[in-house]
A and B are shown apart, each in its own frame.
Chain A
Amino acid sequence: MIVCIAVVGHQNNPLYIQSFTEADDALKLHHIVHCSLDVVDERVNNPKKSGPMINETFLGLLYPTENYKVYGYLTNTKVKFILVTTDLDVRDADVRNFFRRFHSAYLDAVSNPFHVPGKKITSKTFAERVSTIVKSVSFNTAG
């Protein structure tokens, strides 16, 4: 289950953070997302192991915590997408696919002429679309 999805601007400022849990753990997820930015930076600045991954937007598993797995995705405009999931058995292809769909939703949201670049995404349509994508995605290979 996806517990949190976040969009982080190129100055590492949060643009959109949405958790999909009932529990009151927004703060924890904020921390996890914030923390994962260090790993994103590290991945981006040390492209040594990126041989075939060059110009790849999908950053892969950023780090596993006790209960979560955190995945990252970097757009051309240095906007980061962070995904936190509780599924422990996840195929990269699924996540990649999810990010691709999420990216297009994000593109539509920022193409809105009323969206101020670099400001938080407040679009309701975007939120709805994201939650649809999140609901439709199941990472469990068994499922």
Chain B
Amino acid sequence: MADPAYSALRKILLDEITPAVMVLPTPLVEERCQKNGLSFVQMLTPFCVFNNIDVPVRTASDQPYRLQKFKLRMFYASDVRQQNVEVTKERLKQVITDAGNNKDSDLYLDPSPIETIPISSQPDFIPTWFQFFNKELVRSVSFSDHEAFDHPVACLLVVSSNDKDPINKFVELFNMNQLPPLLNDGAMDPKIPKVFVLVHDNQDGSPERATKILAEMRNTFGANDCRLLCINSLQGEALDHEPNPWEFYMPNASPDQHLGRLLNKEDVDELKDFVRDLSSKDIIPNMEQRIRVLNQQVSATRKGFRNQIKNLWWRKGKEDAPENQSVNMYTFSSIESQIRVLGDYAFMLRDYELALSNYRLLSTDYKLDKAWKRYAGVQEMMGLTYFMLNQSKKDAEYCMENAFTTYLRIGTSGKGNATRCGLWWVEMLKASGQYKEAAGVYFRISGEEPLHSAVMLEQASYCYLLAKPIMLRKYGFHLILSGDLYKKCDQIKHAIRAYRNALSVFKGTTWSHIRDHVHFHIGQWYAFLGRFDVAMKHMLEIVACSHQSKPMQELFMKNFFQILQKTGKTYKISRLQLPIVNINSLNIVSEDHRTYGSPAAVSVKESIWQSLEEEMVPSLTNAKTTWLDLQSKLLPNKLKQSNVCVAGEALMVEIAFKNPLQLSIPIYSVTLMCEYSPNEIIPDANNSFVDQSIEDEKTTSDASLFTLSEVDITLTGGETTLAQLSVTPIKEGRLKVTGVSWKLSDSMVGFYAFEPDLIKKRISKGRRKAKQNTNKLEFLVIKSLPRLEGIINNLPSTVYTGNLQRLSLELRNSSEIPVKNLKMKISHPRFLNIGNPEKSDVNFPSCLEKEKTPSQKDADLDTTKKSDTIFHFPEDTIIHKETPFVLPLWFRAATPGNVSLYLTIYYEVEDKSTAMRYRTLRTHHILEVLPSLDVSFNISPCPSRLQEYIVQMDVINKGLKSLKLRQLSSVGSEWQISLIESIQDIIPSGNLASGQSLSCFLKLKNAKTTETATDVWLGRIGNEAVFDTQRAPLVNFHHYEQLHQKTSHKEQEHQSTVDFMLISEMEETETENKPPQIFSHHACHCRQCGNEETDMVAIGRATDYSL
């Protein structure tokens, strides 16, 4: 337990419970004193405190002791009364408001984190004005009639030497009806000891007149009670007292008021001596005397067995009396009042034992009388006395609690006293380190008056902070409560302080509801005070309020934008949480020598492309051919190790934004942030070795060096949107993608810096190289290169199986530099075939028809012979700017299902000086193939003839549209085929509707002659336009079908087989002009199988569902 001798409460009590002196001056006295900027009382106040007065006192039982510390409280008679409640309220409010304004400076600083706060008994951060406020609260209930320590022990009658007829003035002063109600209504003895003081202003002349008056006074009032006080003796220059004794008591006075400027040293000493004499020669002996007299009286009437019995008997009779006793029931002459005066005097003279015994005595009396206020007052004093005696902590606390609850019980009249009692109780608990309990008492003090409650709750919160163990959450909670109450009373600054302190508790926790609430309100209040910049800091904390309800989010956003608008500043916030950037979604597509025809092509696995390009693209490690040698020189180390992009070509970046809110938020100007540094690479191809250590540090972000795309996105609630951004470098050099930025509004810019270490990046295309490269966001920009763009015209998205179409590949070069040496590879030659580039104006499908005279074979037939299907464009193909190159393509939907076609086109750059000699264009096409005809053949030997077979053909239309059969051919010239029965008999319309099947028999004959009828017309008679199966593209596609279907029949290759091709057509019903769609179905390696079996079956399937 802390020594109460040094505790705050002891200091307070020695300050507050001290003898009061009533002062009655004439107006002239005041006028003289005001020359110093001071009233008479103010002038004396600094000298009323004695640390070493050393007055010998005797207790009632004649025990001598010496008083050392002593204090007098001086009051004007007009102030010796209970204050008006409203006035008190106003004054207290002013105290708080002033305190709020004084705290202005550090209100906008960042609060110190809770951990760094030194946990001492009185930390710095606890506002000092609390003490002042509490003192004011305590004083507001002074001069009550139920307690005696505020009752003046003496009266100073002060008359100026300039007053006319000073003797009469003295008499008048005390006779005037302005005496305090305490004296008039009988609560205290009006026979109060008087001291007559004559004040002489030395500026009014020599003190001769004053001494004359003094002599007169001594004759009239008695020699001992008269004093002369000379002031304003200073001549000439005003004097600045250093240190100024009055300053401490008048904190509101400005320094240029020169308090006490006319008082010279002698005057001050005289004042000091005057008060000291007053105390030691008048007041203390008087009080001592009074104690003696009262004690005798009390002993006579109340002490001893007889008196106690008598008292009990007498009290009992009073029980029938009505509870509402008149105010004046205990006049000064009543024994109860006298005991109280005795107790209080004893307390004030530090005779605590005596005080305590009297309080105890009185306590039971009042309790029996049900005089609750007085009872509470006595209990309160008992508690304090126990405390001052430093014994029985429990008793002290019990008494305080008892007093507190009793005061509260009597209603409004006891409220102020309850507050005072509570404050003292709190100090008592604090003195013994019971902070938690103290906080509880503070909480109980806080009543209905919101402003007082706010202050009390805030004090309670600091108690929780000091409690051991520390109770941070309660600290926070009480601060919030307090802040709310401050706000209610328009004490915004206090509210902010409370909330800001509370913030330290909630910062970094996951109690986001509370944290948001705190930030939001602080933000709003700062905005209210016009401090929008600080407000913004707090509002930014709540933008990502995904856990809040939708109305809350709306409210937050509304306020956020309002405050943002009012700040008039532009904010650039790193990692702004609205929207959230999903860094894992970052995807950068850079095109070096690999270029892409469409975004779909980008997402294709690199290995697919690599396998396609394997034979086309010169390998860097392989130095067999001369131009490959050149290539390895052309791509220096640096180029190989870093990501390369080409000036003028956009670098695509994809990044996902997630809206955490339930509201839809638009974001504007989503754009990349890039840094550019001039390049160290010399574009000269032969001499482009670069030392990596010489890095050019200078980076700029000039708009002329690269252009950025801007996107506006509206994110609906909870949505994640993938933004596609691009940067197009213009000059050679180094380009670094540093981040992404967006605008939430014109003045709120959010950005997200990409940190290379943190990003598990997938730069789709740089994977192989990127492994060695630490910085995947950095790109080497090389000189502008031609870039081919390719489109396949008329490529359908949905086709039926077997559909044969003529398409064209259009290649464009937008660069001035022509490209040459083109090569192409197609992933699925079953689907796509290259036509003859020289025959670009053929008429399809009539070009397929058999010519009357057999001509030489088509040139493009050669392509089929090449096993590995790299198509070399004609030697002289050079694609210039704005002259597109068109290559005919044949398309046949080989198998049903979803099909991905990959095309890669290799080309070389004409310009020798570029760092990159070749590039590839990769295109990816997806199409859906629907099933159509399903054809199967069943070959059995002809029973009658050798070398002849009977073929059963089964056709089912699995498609949705009806098809018209056109012809069936055996491919090659080995087999002659003819119908056994007329097709018209089987299917008169020639149309095979959806779901319909057909079965017919054919005769197959092995003929080694050149002129064999390999085709059978299945269509309408008279319109026989038989297609030549030996011509492109039918033969080409058949070749691939043959290759494809061969795999399943490998082991029976020795057998003679036959390939069938069924050609059908689909009439376009909607558009009359269009030629019919041609379909071809291929059945390869059909053979007769199982000779021994009676039921011989040979099966060839025209469709194969596996690719």
Contact = CB atoms under 8 A, between A and B. Distances in A.
B108 interface: no
A14 B510 contact: yes
Contacts of B517: 27
A108 interface: no
Given A31-B480, A34-B477, A35-B474, A42 B469 contact: yes
A13 interface: yes
A14 B480 CA distance: 19
Given A12-B509, A13-B509, A38 B514 contact: no
B349 interface: no
Contact of B511 (A30, A38, A41, A45): A30
Given A27-B517, A31-B480, A37 B473 contact: yes
Interface size range of chain A in the complex: 10 to 19
Contacts of B464: 38
Contact of B469 (A14, A26, A27, A45): A45
B471 interface: yes
Contacts of A31: 477, 480, 514
Contact of A38 (B474, B509, B510, B513): B474
A27 B474 CA distance: 15
Contacts of B472: 38
Interface centre among A14, A26, A30, A34 (most CB of B within 10 A): A34
A27 B471 CA distance: 20
Given A12-B509, A27-B513, A38 B471 contact: yes
A27 B509 contact: no
**Chain A interface mostly helix, strand, loop or mixed?**
helix
Nearest to B551: A24
A27 B473 contact: no
B509 A30 contact: no
A30 B473 contact: no
Interface centre among A35, A38, A42 (most CB of B within 10 A): A38
Contacts of A35: 473-474, 476-477
Interface in B516-530: 517
Interface string A1-40: 0000000000011100000000000110011001101100
A31 B481 CA distance: 10
A41 B468 CA distance: 12
A12 to B, nearest CB: 7
Nearest to A31: B477
A13 to B, nearest CB: 4
Contacts of B509: 12-13
A14 B474 contact: no
Nearest to B473: A38
B473 A34 contact: yes
Contacts of B480: 31
Nearest to A13: B510
A30 B518 CA distance: 13
Nearest to B506: A34
B513 A30 contact: yes
B514 A27 contact: yes
Contacts of A45: 469
Contacts of A14: 510-511
A31 B513 CA distance: 9
Contacts of B473: 34-35, 37-38
A26 B480 CA distance: 15
Interface centre among A12, A14, A35, A37 (most CB of B within 10 A): A35
A34 B502 CA distance: 13
A42 B468 CA distance: 10
Contacts of B469: 41-42, 45
Nearest to B512: A14
Interface in B464-490: 464, 469, 471-474, 476-477, 480
Contacts of B511: 13-14, 30, 34
B450 to A, nearest CB: 16
A41 B475 CA distance: 14
Contacts of A12: 509
Contacts of B513: 26-27, 30
B307 to A, nearest CB: 46
A31 B516 CA distance: 12
Nearest to B517: A27
B412 to A, nearest CB: 20
Contacts of B471: 38, 42
B514 A34 contact: yes
Interface in B869-896: none
Contacts of B514: 27, 30-31, 34
A37 B509 CA distance: 13
A34 B509 CA distance: 11
Nearest to A119: B510
A31 B509 CA distance: 13
A27 B513 CA distance: 7
A42 B470 CA distance: 10
A8 to B, nearest CB: 10
A113 B474 CA distance: 36
Interface centre among B473, B480, B513, B514 (most CB of A within 10 A): B473
A14 B473 CA distance: 14
Contacts of A26: 513
A26 B511 CA distance: 12
A30 to B, nearest CB: 5
A119 to B, nearest CB: 10
A27 B480 CA distance: 11
Contacts of A30: 511, 513-514
A41 B467 CA distance: 13
A105 B635 CA distance: 65
B398 to A, nearest CB: 21
A12 B473 CA distance: 11
A38 B478 CA distance: 13
Contacts of A27: 513-514, 517
B546 to A, nearest CB: 12
A13 B472 CA distance: 14
Interface in B433-491: 464, 469, 471-474, 476-477, 480
Interface of B: 464, 469, 471-474, 476-477, 480, 509-511, 513-514, 517
Given A31-B477, A35-B474, A45-B469, 17 more contacts: A12-B509, A13-B511, A26-B513, A27-B514, A27-B517, A30-B511, A30-B513, A34-B477, A34-B511, A34-B514, A35-B473, A35-B476, A38-B464, A38-B471, A38-B472, A42-B469, A42-B471
27 contacts: A12-B509, A13-B509, A13-B511, A26-B513, A27-B513, A27-B514, A27-B517, A30-B511, A30-B513, A31-B477, A31-B480, A31-B514, A34-B476, A34-B477, A34-B511, A34-B514, A35-B473, A35-B474, A35-B476, A35-B477, A38-B464, A38-B471, A38-B472, A38-B473, A38-B474, A42-B471, A45-B469
- Of all A-B residue pairs in the complex, the 8 with the closest CB atoms, nearest first, are A13-B510, A38-B471, A35-B477, A38-B473, A30-B513, A38-B474, A35-B473, A30-B514
